[in-house]
Chains A and B, each alone.
Chain A
Amino acid sequence: MDISAGVMIFAETAEGKLSSITKELMGLGTRLAGKLEKGLSAVLLGAGTEPLATELVNLGADAVYLADDAFLENYNPEQYASVIEHVIQTAKPAILLMGQTSRGADMAPRLAFKFRGALAMDCVELDADSETGLLTHTRPVYGGIAMARARSRAASLQVVTVRAKSQDPAEPADDREGEIIAVGERARGEYAGGMKFLRPVAVEADEVNLEEANIIVAGGRGVGSTENFKRFIEGFARILGGVPGASRGALDSDFAPANLQIGLTGKIVSPQLYVAIGISGMVQHMTGCSSSKTIVGINTDPDASIFKYAHFGIVGDFEQVVPALMQKCEELLKN
């Protein structure tokens, strides 16, 4: 398959594995490359990433551009950008798909501005016109109050970031073939830029994996205090075998650590059960959790928007509702 004028994805890893967004990008990339009748490639950067290149081939990559190098162990955006720029100039993709992640959302504008391409961030739906190769995208605007449909104006280089959990992941198959192309010293070059990676920092609640959680109990501003957050949100999550989450309101009131934030500027989650306590259900929050299978809302305001999204709701003071709910759940889960 012709890689040139095809689709390329930016592969990301987490704890030595391909991250779930990467599998989604491969699924989306396969579909778009099929429409264009062109090849699908992946660019994979990092240290010790070589074994994952085969996995990308199994997921459908016709070519994997692999930069496996100690200097890429940590994220220096300028060094990452220079390697990817080199790969883009070599492979000449028409479409570059990245995750709306910390790195993807950082890298996409750098590359799009550099190549003066078309750029759309945080897309939830994407399609390509098989005649023109131009992308159409759907993405949230105004904090998710509305969605915007747009199309690329030219097909020179179209860069998009894709929201987590918006695409069906690619399924691996062992019998697929693809080329693994080592991106060598030329891409590495001499780095003379002004940025130096110093260290990673773990933050409180870092061990909480919201994206993979089956059950989330989330608290908002209405929870009222850090003590209440600990007791009712974290406590209830523990009983259910789930994890705690928070809305921006709870963060701004300093009830909850930043890494628990769910919503437009936080994590995007879709658990089996999402319990929202003292959360009004503003669209900026709901955009991060509305694809949850079952949503439960507990709020004193019967007109709160959370009830437009919730499958089950209780109108009332959570301090009265939740202890009884917690106790009954604990009882039921024991049996």
Chain B
Amino acid sequence: MNIIVCVKQVPDPEAPTAQFRIDEATKRLRPSKSVNLVANPFDMNAVEAAIQLKEAVGGKITVLSLGPESSSDVLKQAVAMGADEAVRIDSQAGESWDSFLTAHALAAAVRKVGQFDLILCGRQAADTNAGQMGVGLATALGISCVSFASRVEPRNGKIEVERIADKGREVFEVALPALLTVSNEMNHPRFPTAMKLIAAGRQQIPSWSLAEIGFDAGQLSGQWAGIEETEHFIPRPTTTCEFVEGETLEEAGEKLALRLRAEKVL
């Protein structure tokens, strides 16, 4: 099974909230310099799913990322985990990429990769939270798509996919080629060994320019209504916490129960 995985580099979503500020000039959230750039966590679930499928039925895994030079780190991580090839599609920092343009650029890159059976994406990016790109890429390529996938198994040249429903799960049989957006329920991404990380770190990740994949943003930009962000702001919780204390923690626990009763919460 030939699998393409799309990954994105994002500011570490686990970084402390205090490390993020609003830049007054641009009105956009800016992570401080101490916030690392990491692989979007859901995308690593997608890489892990690809590796498990390859382990089961064989095949080849190609990982793609649209982003500036720094995105190579995410691709190297995927290679260290077990991906066979990685390509960065070169975009410059500061360029405005909405999900429509990103999906169409990745569609062009997928066509350049050539033959594939399955494309895996994370269910959403930790920075934009949009959750549009995967489904959009499938629409752009005209292939079937299952979003919020929590399990995938190869079945007689097709795949059986479970997706997360509002209650329980829904199971589908899907003909290939197809695209899945992968949810964290699917697996726990493996940690590559130090040896593999070092080996992958030494690799040169090839990059394709937008011209090389035959993508012209200008040609597309008028064809998509889209939205424009005007500003970011940080919501502040306005509650004041009443700390309940006691001689012992047990006593504090009992006092809390009494406070809740007094407030008619219980």
Contacts and interface: CB of A to CB of B under 8 A. Distances in A.
Interface in B237-266: 237, 239, 241-245, 248-254, 256-261, 263, 265-266
Contacts of B243: 307, 312-315
Contacts of A74: 170
Given A117-B225, A248-B184, A325-B253, 8 more contacts: A110-B139, A113-B135, A116-B225, A121-B132, A122-B131, A282-B14, A315-B243, A328-B256
Nearest to B135: A109
B237 A151 contact: no
Contact of A195 (B174, B225, B245): B174
A323 interface: yes
B218 interface: no
Interface string B216-239: 000000011111111111110101
A258 interface: yes
Interface in B117-169: 123-124, 126-132, 135-136, 139-140, 144-148, 150, 158, 160, 162-169
Nearest to B163: A102
B150 to A, nearest CB: 8
Most-contacted residue by chain B among A119, A206, A294 (CB, 10 A): A119
Contacts of B248: 320
B188 interface: yes
A151 B230 contact: yes
B172 A148 contact: no
Most-contacted residue by chain B among A145, A157, A197, A316 (CB, 10 A): A145
Given A119-B132, A146-B29, A314-B244, A258 B185 contact: yes
Report whether over half of chain A's contact residues are helix, strand or loop; otherwise say mixed: mixed
A322 B224 CA distance: 54
A102 B131 CA distance: 12
Given A113-B140, A117-B225, A328-B258, A310 B171 contact: no
B110 interface: no
Contacts of B65: none
A52 interface: no
A265 B265 contact: no
A150 B227 contact: yes
A264 B266 contact: no
A321 B14 CA distance: 28
Interface of A: 14, 19, 74-78, 101-103, 105-106, 108-110, 112-114, 116-122, 136-137, 139-158, 193-203, 206, 240, 248, 251-252, 258-259, 264-265, 272-273, 282-284, 286, 290, 293-297, 305, 307-317, 320-329, 331-333
Contacts of B254: 324-325, 327-328
A290 B129 contact: no
B249 A197 contact: no
B241 A310 contact: yes
A144 B250 CA distance: 34
Contacts of B14: 282
Contact of B129 (A140, A314, A322): A140
B178 interface: yes
A139 B128 CA distance: 10
Interface residues of B, number: 87
Contacts of B103: 113
Contacts of A156: 225
B92 interface: no
B13 interface: yes
B242 A312 contact: yes
Contact of B184 (A112, A116, A252, A320): A252
A194 B175 contact: yes
A196 B251 contact: no
Contacts of B175: 194-195
Contacts of A308: 237, 239, 241
Contacts of A311: 239, 241-242
A149 B28 CA distance: 10
Contacts of B132: 108-109, 112-113, 119, 121
Most-contacted residue by chain B among A137, A295, A310 (CB, 10 A): A310
B258 A332 contact: yes
Nearest to A308: B237
A95 to B, nearest CB: 12
Contacts of A326: 253
Most-contacted residue by chain A among B11, B172, B251, B259 (CB, 10 A): B172
A158 B135 CA distance: 17
B84 interface: no
Contact of A328 (B165, B174, B241, B253): B253
B155 to A, nearest CB: 10
3 nearest interchain CB pairs?
Answer: A194-B175, A324-B253, A328-B257
Contacts of B193: none
B234 A146 contact: yes
B154 to A, nearest CB: 15
Given A121-B132, A206-B167, A329-B257, A307 B228 contact: no
Contact of A295 (B128, B174, B239): B239
B29 A284 contact: no
Given A102-B166, A145-B29, A264-B129, A157 B225 contact: yes
Contacts of A108: 132
B20 interface: yes
B234 A145 contact: yes
